[in-house]
Structure 1
Amino acid sequence: MAGRTPKNTVQDWIEAAQRTLVDEGIAGLKVDRLANRLGVTRGGFYHNFKDRDEFFEQIIRHWENSCRFLPDDPPPPRPGDAIEWLDRTIGRLIESDGYDYRFDLAVREWARADKRAEWAVERADRERLDTLQKFFEAIGCDKEHAAIRARVFYYHQIGYYAIGVRQSIAERRRNAELYMDILCGEEELKAARAAAAKGRKARAA
């Protein structure tokens, strides 16, 4: 019937694509397969997207906007505030709160065969590393040291997901402080934590 409201929205298609990409990889992102998954015809796809290129671009944009490895706010410049930012970051990663590592890894695999995905991954990696470098500078590392620390932290965390380490949330929380001492530098973190404790005490006074 003319003027009929389509059953599925752009967001429905994008979310189905995300699930399929995680489960099956890029080979699963076929229009017919996604239409079957959503219970609609191919016409539903072309109601929402001009072609597969536009569809793929929107999936990549969705990944960039939704799969956030770090908080959207930058690390504060003072050591005590920066360490609280790091604690919040670690909590997000452990709880997968705002960061879906399976989606992240699926897009990285896609990037091996698609330049658009490759460029998006490169942009995301630069943004994440730049932000982490600012954190390390905030807790007292010089610029060169901060850049290397950022890489060590980031590559470790991505590698943790890539090799499929299996730990409970409780176990990850128990180990988090020791990991941070090793990855971030025990002396720098100790000084930053002392500054954070001093700041909390001053605010409570």
Structure 2
Amino acid sequence: MEDMESLGRGWRGTEAGWIEAAYQLLIEGGVEAVKILPLARRLRLSRTSFYWHFTDRESLLAALVKRWQEKNTGNLVLQTEIAAATINEAVLNLFDCWVTPELFDAALDVAMRNWARTDSDLGRAFEAADNTRLAAIRAMFQRHGYGAEEADIRANTVYLTQVGYLALGTAETLETRLQRIPTYLLTFTGRPGSAAELETFNARHRARIES
């Protein structure tokens, strides 16, 4: 991630720089911390520079919502749609979101859900996001032969487990999560993962443990 000085380069900074600084304040202190003057100070820019990129604070907050929708909900849906030979392979594609911050930003999802509790418009947007994510996971199970009711229950089990991880702030190393994957697969799909499926998944993430 670029540092704030580079993101604030130039006497007006960049739109991406303002959004990144706003993101960091949101993660650190919630939406109430996302204010123009603290952002300008963090970027070492004048307060008036903000208005070259955004009409007001609300337009900046809208940019944060868009970032969250595209990265978290957008990527989650895409992961469920990747071609997979088996349901376990499909679920492992989804699991990539839970262990890859570049695909799914857990801290951002927590911050947005907290913000949604005090903002009715965002609350509706988050409800829509949850529904979209669940529908994608449900459809994934149905493509692999599960009936509608069973697909719905399994989709909820998969998704609400991860929501629980985030809500409780569960700290778990990547190595621990990978060790638990076989049991999670059996729990979520009712079918044991094959050695090849598990090895392929682990290979995608092993380098991050070893680095």
Question: Per-residue deviation at 1:62?
Answer: 1.2
Question: Per-residue deviation at 1:139?
Answer: 2.6
TM-score (structure 2 length as normaliser): 0.79
RMSD of aligned Cα (Å): 2.4
Amino acid aligned to 2:63: Q
Would you say the 8 A contact 1:20–1:28 is kept in 2?
yes
Q: 1:129 aligns with which of 125, 129, 134?
A: 134
Q: 1:16 aligns with which of 14, 21, 39?
A: 21
| Residues 33-44 of structure 1 mapped to structure 2, 5 A cutoff | 33-44=38-49
Question: Per-residue deviation at 1:95?
Answer: 2.9
Provide closer, same or farther for how the CA distance between residues 136 and 28 of structure 1 changes in structure 2, counting only shifts above 3 A: same
1:75 maps to 2:84? no
Can you list the C-alpha shifts for 1:140-186, whole angstroms capped at 9, x where unaligned? 2211121121111111101112112112111100101101211x232
TM-score (structure 1 length as normaliser): 0.81
Would you say the 8 A contact 2:91–2:185 is kept in 1?
no
1:60 maps to 2:65? yes
Q: Which residue of 1 aligns with 2:205?
A: none
C-alpha separation in 2, matches of 1:29 and 1:18? 8
Q: Which residue of 2 aligns with 1:201?
A: none
**Secondary structure of the structure 2 residue equivalent to 1:173:** helix
Amino acid aligned to 1:173: L
Which sits farther off after the overlay, 125-134 or 110-119? 110-119
Q: Which residue of 1 aligns with 2:121?
A: 116
Would you say the 8 A contact 1:111–1:117 is kept in 2?
yes
Q: Which runs of 5+ in 1 are unaligned?
A: 197-205
Question: Per-residue deviation at 1:121?
Answer: 1.1
Would you say the 8 A contact 1:95–1:169 is kept in 2?
no
Amino acid aligned to 1:58: A
1:31 maps to 2:36? yes
Q: Which gives a bigger RCO, structure 1 or 2 (Cα 8 Å, sep 6+)?
A: 1
Q: Percent identity?
A: 28
C-alpha separation in 2, matches of 1:74 and 1:16? 31
1:139 maps to 2:153? no
Amino acid aligned to 1:185: T
1:185 maps to 2:189? yes
1:105 maps to 2:110? yes
Would you say the 8 A contact 2:86–2:144 is kept in 1?
no
Question: Per-residue deviation at 1:86?
Answer: 1.9
C-alpha separation in 2, matches of 1:175 and 1:112? 32
Can you list the C-alpha shifts for 1:23-56, whole angstroms capped at 9, x where unaligned? 1001101111111111111101111111112111
Q: Which residue of 2 aligns with 1:203?
A: none
Question: Per-residue deviation at 1:85?
Answer: 2.7
Would you say the 8 A contact 1:14–1:59 is kept in 2?
yes
Q: Which runs of 5+ in 2 are unaligned?
A: 1-9, 198-211
**Greater Cα radius of gyration, structure 1 or 2:** 1
1:166 maps to 2:171? yes
Report the count of equivalent residues: 187
Q: 2:95 aligns with which of 90, 93, 109?
A: 90
